[in-house]
Amino acid sequence: MNTQMEEVRLSLGHVELAGHLFGPADGVPVIALHGWLDNANSFALLAPKLRGLRILALDLAGHGHSGHRPAGAGYALWDYAHDVLRAAEQMGWERFALLGHSLGAIVSVVLAGSLPERITRLALIDGVIPPTSGPQDAAERMGMALQAQLRLDSKRKAVHPTLEQAIQARMKGLVAVSREAAELLAQRGLMPVPGGYTWRSDSRLTLPSPTRLSEAQALSFVQRVACPAMLVVAADGMLARHTALLEQLPFTREVLPGGHHLHMNDESGATLVADCFNRFFGIP
């Protein structure tokens, strides 16, 4: 196990990203992408257990210590994919593997399907394609998103009087996490403000998407993936009930006990996921 970690900052021109570097300098290049409203500490338990990999765990734009996008910009999947390519350029990596959880797994599939020649391996945790919808919903969804954008200016972020209350709130969030996971996310995600603490994440991350892909469009990215791919499905997570989708995937699958954040909720979950991915990467 390699527990050494280095804090890094990458200036991509259009945004500055922060992150962690794990593993030996000559290890297999891997870019790790966390889930929605999480940050690079999502991989703090898992990354040190992965052998022979040089892992760049990013704070995605708008999350953690990374910069927020300029006024008027948004957080579309393809914007994240572009950021990853720019980060790879900064690292000098022409070809690299992707390790993604939830939103990060979706971005990984989008990138691996768009530019299959750039991606060497795809390691996914409880995420694969974005939520989809039919064409009949397009206009209504766009209207809902535009209204939400207009209302955002009048909203203020929640301020938690104490660090403990902020951690408790994260534990009970839209997707519940363990205390250990909430504390890890709080280390990079919270900042002090008058009256207590608030989350660093850009408020625009909570806006609904103005457009959604059809299922056929989303699966077209899956179908163009050319590298070996493994999907870890959390038994109590968000994918397990989507059996029809899972049966369409040409990826190796492993169902493991635990919830959506199984790789960071505790050491035992991180160990189970690491065992899968160490076998997948085939590094002794």
- Which residues are part of the catalytic machinery? 102
CA distances from 4 to 38, 55, 97, 123, 241 (A): 21, 11, 20, 22, 37
Q: What is the spatial distance between Cα 184 and Cα 57, in angstroms, rounded to a whole number?
A: 14
Q: How, if at all, do strands 252-256 and 119-125 pair?
A: unpaired
Q: What is the spatial distance between Cα 108 and Cα 235, in angstroms, rounded to a whole number?
A: 21
Q: What is the spatial distance between Cα 123 and Cα 256, in angstroms, rounded to a whole number?
A: 14
126 near 168, Cβ under 8 Å?
no
Q: Environment class of residue 139 by beta-carbon count within 10 Å: exposed (0-12), middle (13-18) or buried (19+)?
A: exposed
What is the maximum span of the chain, computed from C-alpha positions, in angstroms? 54
Among the listed residues 130, 129, 104, 108, the one whose alpha carbon sits nearest the alpha carbon of residue 118: 108
